Homo-oligomer: A and B are copies of this chain.
Amino acid sequence: MNSQLACVTMLTDFGLSDETVACCKGVLLSKGLNLPIIDISHEVPPFDIISGGWILAGALPFMPLGAHLAVVDPGVGTERKIVILHVQRGDFLVGPDNGLLMEAARRLGGIKKAWSVCMERSGFKKISSTFHARDIMAPVVGDLGLGIPPSTLGEEIEEKALIDYPLAEPKQENGKITGSVAYIDAYGTVRTNILWRSLKGNVKNLKISSSWLFSIPVGRTFADVAKGDLVILEDSWGYVSIAINQGRASDLLGSKPGDPISVEFTM
């Protein structure tokens, strides 16, 4: 079923300073896994499911088939489920059931089957109250990477029982499209969940939260506008982003993940 898996990936909000990420990798290797382990990011802003889910979704389409471990888990220690998603492309995604995995699953063709991990079935060792990534999720990913079927690790659940990605799909009406800020990158560029190709005709005005910005220029790269000027452009994943040439758009606009954003255009 998954003999074709070619990698394991990891995304967390653990940071790189302590031993938490390494502990998870140690668990994977201790299982006998011999796939390459690729770090997507361990610097997701703490507990930020929107940002973590967006980065995960930006990375996985460029990965070969894999078992993907994603952990941004404000609910660790509560009753939230830990889930395994098998997607149309063939990958497995493992993480908390809080929406983190859902945008990535959608971009890999959608969910084929989902399981809720059963603590009883899986032969886990001692489980700590706050480090389920190491004690539950990494062992599950290791097992999947070894070809163990997910049905032996959890109970099948319906897709509609899963918690969705926090950002709603953008809505379009009369030359205006409204979506959300999905991620602020290290340069302060505001990445949105509005598909670039959904902008018909000429982009005119931009509404960030409740303020309108008029006649923002559209560019192909940052350098298409003068230093310090705002520019709206297609990001490297096909979505609308707003940047300042050699400046931080997020600081000027006061944007953060989850904020509404609207674009007006003329046909």
Contact = CB atoms under 8 A, between A and B. Distances in A.
Interface of A: 6-7, 9, 15-20, 22-23, 25-27, 29-30, 36-44, 46, 55-56, 58-60, 62-64, 76-78, 128-131, 134-135, 183, 185-187, 220-223, 233-236
In the A-B complex, list the 5 residue pairs whose CB atoms are closest, starting with the nearest: A131-B236, A26-B62, A19-B59, A26-B63, A77-B221
Nearest to A220: B129
A42 B22 CA distance: 11
24 contacts: A6-B29, A16-B42, A18-B41, A18-B183, A18-B186, A19-B41, A20-B236, A22-B40, A22-B59, A22-B63, A23-B58, A23-B59, A23-B62, A26-B59, A26-B64, A29-B36, A29-B64, A36-B37, A46-B187, A62-B134, A77-B221, A129-B220, A130-B221, A130-B222
Contact of A30 (B27, B37, B40, B63): B63
A60 B19 CA distance: 9
A182 B30 CA distance: 26
Contacts of A134: 62, 236
Nearest to A132: B236
Contacts of A64: 26, 29-30
Contact of A19 (B7, B40, B46): B40
Contacts of A221: 76-77, 129-130
How many protomers of this protein does the assembly include?
3
A104 B181 CA distance: 40
A135 B7 CA distance: 20
A22 B38 contact: yes
Contacts of A58: 18-19, 23
B63 A18 contact: no
Nearest to A126: B238
A227 to B, nearest CB: 13
Contacts of A23: 58-59, 62
Contacts of A77: 220-221, 223
Contact of A29 (B7, B18, B19, B42): B7
